[in-house]
Structure 1
Amino acid sequence: MILAGILLCFLELISAQDVVKNETFATPEYILPCYKSDPEINKCLRNTFNHLRPYLKTGISDIDVPSIDPLKINTLIMENGRGALRVKASFYNITTTGASNYSIGNIKTDLDKYIIELGVVLPRIEVKGKYDVNGNVLLFPVRSKGDFWAIFLDVEGAGKIYGKEYKNEDGVRFMRIDKLFIDFKLGRRRFRIRDFINHGNVIGEAMNQFLNNNSEEIIREMKPAATLAIAKHFKGFLNAAFVKLPLQVWLPDA
């Protein structure tokens, strides 16, 4: 979700310029322009994303771009119906810190087909919020609701966008996201929950121990559901930005 958040803020920054057909657009200080014809376009885009870091950290109030640190998400719902961990987990009022310390790794594009792939590395991410979990672990029913905290170290994320071109009623060309895929790899991690249902009893503490002692297996089981939920959540926001962003703005020679 951090990766998608960075993509969203990047697009909002560019699309904040007023759009009039055939207008020549000024380049704000926080954008390093790239050209489709550049033989090193991938390197240029990487520099653009990394150049944005200090601006995204503080936010840009005059164009209504919020800080990505903290990054806030209202709701994420993950549902896993297979394997030993069959649960529906709802997370809400999520606050994530540490996203502004990102660095962009490799970027690979095929702009003729509107395909963009990129990797991001984050040294430390802290996440907190509220959760509601209902389901089964092995053969045992689980019902838990409350507050959660998590720390992730050495996070590697990857995103892949498949876009399609379309024109508005004035013939201005845009790109819309058709598919968005998210993946991630976590280094060390630590979880803590305060279970309102089982708080203060042996079940509540046992759940904390279970989460941390089996974090690798839990993440492996829930990862497909997590990546789908994150991609679905951010696809709408990214498209909202893309449909305000004519191709000529972010690719002047497209």
Structure 2
Amino acid sequence: MRAILVLLLCSRAYAGSLPDYMRACSASDPELNKCIEDVIATAGPRFAKGIPDLGIASLDPVNLGTIYIDNPALNVTLTDTVLTGLSGFKINSFKMEEAKGRATLDFTANVTLKSQYVMDGQVLILPIRGDGDARIKITNLNIVIKYEFKTVDGYWSVPEYKESYKMGRAHFKFTNLFGGNKELASLTLQFMNDNWSTIIDEIAPPAVTQIIRRCVDEVRKLFAAVPADQLLLH
């Protein structure tokens, strides 16, 4: 029994080590937010590839599974959904108020979502249906996450968060629209890409919500694995 306890403690100590490429900032640093921004900018791309030793899964690529878009005029099901591009993000700002237990992360990335799709309904004035491969490229996806954090037994937890997002451009590609009618499919795709802003308003919310949820989940794993006093020095 004693041997088992020793192994468990050693395992926890190993798993709780901050990766070498991440450095902790000091809470007394007058430029604390800038320090954290620099750490995120430097370590973020490697973090996005996953840290198996800490149980942190990859965010680039990240498997989003099945996404359902169920609107009055349009029904879309995306399956085997994979997102790439998050590791190429650019951090815009990070603001932390430790005493109040809250922080805000603002970043931008160009991402591509690939999946199998089934679609039926109407896009603006055009009827649309099809099933096949889908690719949605989003340029300058800007995500802002405001989260609360607290220390529990020496580790940070994130009980809740709020998100917002906007994007610079979206481009759609769906194969096998209208049963493979190339002329009708080409006209419909041109219409969708010309009116991308309206179309993405219908498609984006469940997809982006899932992207953000996965990001927060992996950060929560980091907080659960590494003690708070290793993440922020006092």
Q: Please tell me the TM-score bracket, short chain as reference.
A: 0.7 to 0.9
What letter corresponds to residue 105 of structure 1 in structure 2? N
Quick one: which of 65, 68, 73 aligns to 1:74? Answer: 65
Equivalent position of 2:79 in the other structure? 92
Greater radius of gyration (CA): 2
How far 1:54 moved relative to its partner? 5.3
Superposed CA RMSD in Å reads 3.4
How far 1:190 moved relative to its partner? 2.5
Does the alignment pair 1:215 with 2:192? no
Quick one: which of 51, 71, 94 aligns to 1:107? Answer: 94
Residue correspondences, number: 224
Give the whole-Å Cα distance in 2 for the aligned partners of 1:240 and 1:80. Answer: 33
Equivalent position of 2:143 in the other structure? 158
How far 1:41 moved relative to its partner? 1.4
Give the whole-Å Cα distance in 2 for the aligned partners of 1:180 and 1:218. Answer: 24
Give the whole-Å Cα distance in 1 for the aligned partners of 2:78 and 2:212. Answer: 15
Equivalent position of 2:176 in the other structure? 195
Give the whole-Å Cα distance in 2 for the aligned partners of 1:227 and 1:69. Answer: 15
Percent of residue pairs bearing the same amino acid type: 22
Give the whole-Å Cα distance in 1 for the aligned partners of 2:219 and 2:210. Answer: 14
How far 1:182 moved relative to its partner? 3.6
Give the whole-Å Cα distance in 2 for the aligned partners of 1:88 and 1:233. Answer: 24
Equivalent position of 1:4 in the other structure? none
| Structure 1 residue ranges without an equivalent (≥5) | 1-16
Equivalent position of 1:8 in the other structure? none
Give the whole-Å Cα distance in 2 for the aligned partners of 1:126 and 1:228. Answer: 15
**1:182–1:230 contact (8 Å) kept in structure 2:** no
**1:119–1:159 contact (8 Å) kept in structure 2:** yes
How far 1:166 moved relative to its partner? 5.8
Does the alignment pair 1:146 with 2:132? yes
- For normalisation by structure 2, the TM-score amounts to 0.74
- Greater helix share, 1 or 2? 2
Does the alignment pair 1:41 with 2:27? no
Name the CA shift for 1:18/1:30 in 2 (closer, same or farther; >3 Å): farther
**Is the partner of 1:28 in helix, strand or coil?**
coil
